[in-house]
Structure 1
Amino acid sequence: MPAIDEAIPTDLEFYDYDTRLAAYAVIMDDDRVLLSWWNGEGHSEPGWSLPGGGVDLPETTEQGVLREVREETGFDVELTGLLAVDSHIKAPEDRLLATDRWARHLRLVFSARVVGGTLGTLEVGGSTDYAEWVPIASVPGLPRAGIVDVGLAAWRATART
C-alpha cells in the first residue's frame, strides 16, 4: 500500500471534497493506439490523452466512455473489459478552476474495439482537437497526460496474462 502524502488533509469527510468521475478507453490496432489531442483549454500544456473524459451525472461509466470516445474520435466502440481503476488527489491550487476544495479524481480505464464510425473529432469547441492512431513505440517521446501511461500499463499487463 502506498504511503499517504502528508500534504493531504486527513480530516476531510467525503462531502468536504469534490469527486470527478472519468472513463477512458484503450483502443488498439495492431501496434497502434488511438489517442486524442487535448488542447489544454487555454490553461494547460496540450498533449495526447486516451479518448475519454468526465462522466455526466445521469450516465453510467460505460455510457460516459462510449459517448466520449464517439465525440473525440468519431468511432463507435464496444467495451471489451475493465483494465484499471485509477485515483489521484489534487490540491485546491492545482485544480483547473479556482476553488478552495480538494478533489479526488477517479478514473476507470476500459479496453475497447472499434465497431463503426469514421475517424474524425465530432466535438465542436471542446477540449479535443483531433484523434490519431499513434504507434505504441512512439508514445514515450510524446507530450501526454498520465492517463495514457496508466492505460497502456494496464493493457500490457492484461495482454501478458
Structure 2
Amino acid sequence: MRTNVPGGLVVVAIDASERRVVEARLGHGEHPEVVLGAAGWGIESPFFATMRDDGALELGYRVSELDGIRPRREGVARDAGVGDGEVGEPYQRVAAYAVVSSARGLLLTQFNTQTHVAGDWGLPGGGLDDGETPVDGVHREVWEETGQRVELGGLLTVQSHHWVGRSPSGTLEDFHAVRIVYAATCPDPRDVVIHDVGGTTSDARWVPVTELGDYPLASSWRRLDALLDLAAGEGRAGGTYDAS
C-alpha cells in the first residue's frame, strides 16, 4: 500500500480515568469509530495526534463504554464512471488542516485544476511529509498556501473517508483520506501570499464569517461542525490543544 506515513496509523482509546484502554492499528480504509466500536468503546472527542518513536502516528480519542449498536463499516463509494469490478491502487494519505480565524475573518483556500474540485474552497493544509508530525505539517502548509503564522488551538476532528476514483493523473486509486483538523488563530493576519507555486492552491483569502455561505466549499468541509457553527454565528472554533 502506498502511504505518506510509512509507520502506519494507530488508534488509541483513553477512558475517563486517563487509561489507554485500546490500541489498534488502523488499516487501509478503516475508520476509527468502527475499530474502537468493535472493542466496545464509543468516541466522545478526538484528543491527540502524535508521532511515535517507531514512526507510527497515534490518533487518540476520549471514549466511553459503548451503549447500543456498534458502528459498522460502510460500503466503499465509487466515483462516477468507475465500475464495480475495477480495482484501484491502495493509497492512504494523511493530511493536517486548520480552521484559522482572526480579526480579518476565516482563512480559506481555493483548489486549482490539478484537483477534481477546481474552483471549490477549503481549509489551508495538506499531506504530511515523510516523518512529519501533524503539528509541524499544518504550520508548514498554512505558511506555504497563505503566508500566515498561526497558533494552534484544539484538535477538532479526524475525518476518515474511503472511496475508489481516479487521481488527476488518471490513475485508478483505492483512496483512504485521513484528515486531522485543528482550530487555530492568527494573531497578526496579513495579506495572503501563496508561497507554494505549482501546488494545488489557486487562491486564498480572509473571508468574513458573515460571507462564508457565499463560498462553495468542497464536500469534505461542508460537513465540518466547526465551519457550520461559524456560519451560524456561534463564535470561533476553539478547544484545548494537547501536544503530548
TM-score, shorter chain, exceeding 0.5: yes
CA RMSD of aligned residues (A): 3.1
Residue in 2 aligned with 1:135? 208
Q: Give, as a single letter, the amino acid of the residue that structure 1 aligns with 2:171.
A: T
| Separation of aligned partners in 2, 1:45 and 1:37 | 8
Residue in 1 aligned with 2:123? 50
Map residues 1-161 of structure 1 onto 2, 5 A cutoff.
1=71, 4-5=74-75, 17-29=90-102, 32-41=105-114, 44-91=117-164, 93-116=165-188, 118-119=190-191, 120-151=193-224, 153-154=225-226, 156=229
User: Once the two structures are superposed, what CA deviation does each residue of 1:116-153 show, in whole Å capped at 9, x if it has no partner?
Assistant: 573321121221133211122332332221233344x1
User: Once the two structures are superposed, what CA deviation does each residue of 1:18-63 show, in whole Å capped at 9, x if it has no partner?
Assistant: 1011111001125821101221327543221100111111211111
Q: Give, as a single letter, the amino acid of the residue that structure 1 aligns with 2:221.
A: V
* Identity in percent: 35
**Structure 1 residues 144, 40: closer, same or farther in 2, change over 3 A?**
farther
**Structure 1 residues 7, 46: closer, same or farther in 2, change over 3 A?**
closer
Q: CA deviation at 1:82?
A: 0.4
**Structure 1 residues 90, 29: closer, same or farther in 2, change over 3 A?**
same
Worse-matched range after superposition: 138-147 or 66-75: 138-147
Kept in 2, the 8 Å contact 1:21–1:54? The answer is yes
Q: Give, as a single letter, the amino acid of the residue that structure 1 aligns with 2:109.
A: S
Q: Give, as a single letter, the amino acid of the residue that structure 2 aligns with 1:102.
A: D
| Separation of aligned partners in 2, 1:86 and 1:2 | 16
Q: Give, as a single letter, the amino acid of the residue that structure 1 aligns with 2:168.
A: L
Q: Give, as a single letter, the amino acid of the residue that structure 1 aligns with 2:179.
A: R
Q: Which structure's CA Rg is the greater one?
A: 2
Kept in 2, the 8 Å contact 1:50–1:147? The answer is no
**Structure 1 residues 149, 43: closer, same or farther in 2, change over 3 A?**
closer
Which consecutive residues of structure 2, in runs of 5 or more, have no partner in the other structure?
A: 1-70, 79-83, 240-244
TM-score calculated relative to the size of structure 2: 0.54
Worse-matched range after superposition: 17-26 or 122-131: 122-131
Which consecutive residues of structure 1, in runs of 5 or more, have no partner in the other structure?
A: none
Q: CA deviation at 1:6?
A: 6.2
1:143 is paired with a residue of what secondary structure? coil
1:75 is paired with a residue of what secondary structure? coil
TM-score calculated relative to the size of structure 1: 0.78
Q: Give, as a single letter, the amino acid of the residue that structure 2 aligns with 1:36.
A: T
